[in-house]
Amino acid sequence: MREAIRVDEQGFFVEDVVLQDNEPLPEDCIEIKVPDGLYRPKWNGTSWEEGLTLEEIDAIVNAPTEPTELEKLQQENEQLKASVIELTTYTAAQEERYNQAILELSQLIAGGNV
């Protein structure tokens, strides 16, 4: 068995193909492996080259990525921590107001001035 690469009419990579040893190489196949690092391999008749422009590659490399599940959970955790701090601060302020109201009420009941 041997491997080949099928290309389309413009020379762009289509798929890997497995051939029997005695099977002839189809006209749309090349037996030269595609080198690593090509975004869209293109056969130019003698060698493999990059089929994308620099602008197209930049668009791929610099494309915004969707946050991972872990990143989403970390962001949600930070939001929850901020909410807990906000609620804790609010609760402490409410407790202070409640204590002040109890003190004033106690003084009024005892006949004192507020």
33-64: pLDDT as tens digits: 999 999 999 999 999 999 999 999 999 999 88
Distance of alpha carbon 109 from alpha carbon 104, whole angstroms: 9
Strand ranges (DSSP E) for 8-77? 13-19, 29-30, 41-43, 48-50
pLDDT of residue 114: 56
pLDDT of residue 113: 63
For the stretch 77-114, pLDDT in tens is 999 999 999 999 989 889 999 989 898 888 888 876 65
pLDDT of residue 93: 87
pLDDT of residue 56: 94
